[in-house]
């Protein structure tokens, strides 16, 4: 493998203090609540339910008319 040369080099101080901060900490933020269903999906489900209810009502009306004529 070819050796990769870095543009940066490590510099250590000859005087003073050297501090290293590699401590990971937990950062708390506000919880983000996501809806289980999108608004569009809810609207589509309501429209589908309404269409099914209308079909059921029409079928019930047809059954009643057939029973009355027989």
pLDDT in tens, 33-60: 877 888 899 999 999 999 999 999 999 9
| 31-62 as b/e: b if 16+ CB within 10 A | eeeeeeeeeeeeeeeeeeeeeeeeeeeeeeee
The whole-number pLDDT of residue 30 equals 87
Alpha-carbon gap, residue 46 to 54, rounded angstroms: 12
- SS3 category, 25: coil
Q: Mean pLDDT of all residues in the chain?
A: 83
Alpha-carbon gap, residue 41 to 47, rounded angstroms: 10
Record the pTM: 0.45
pLDDT in tens, 14-32: 787 766 677 778 888 888 8
């Amino acid at each position: 493998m070819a050796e990769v040369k870095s543009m940066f080099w490590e510099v250590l101080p000859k005087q003073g203090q050297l501090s290293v901060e590699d401590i990971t900490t937990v950062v708390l933020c506000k919880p983000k609540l996501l809806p289980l269903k999108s608004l569009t999906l809810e609207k589509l489900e309501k429209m589908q339910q309404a269409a099914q209810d209308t079909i059921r009502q029409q079928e019930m009306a047809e059954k009643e008319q057939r029973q009355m004529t027989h």
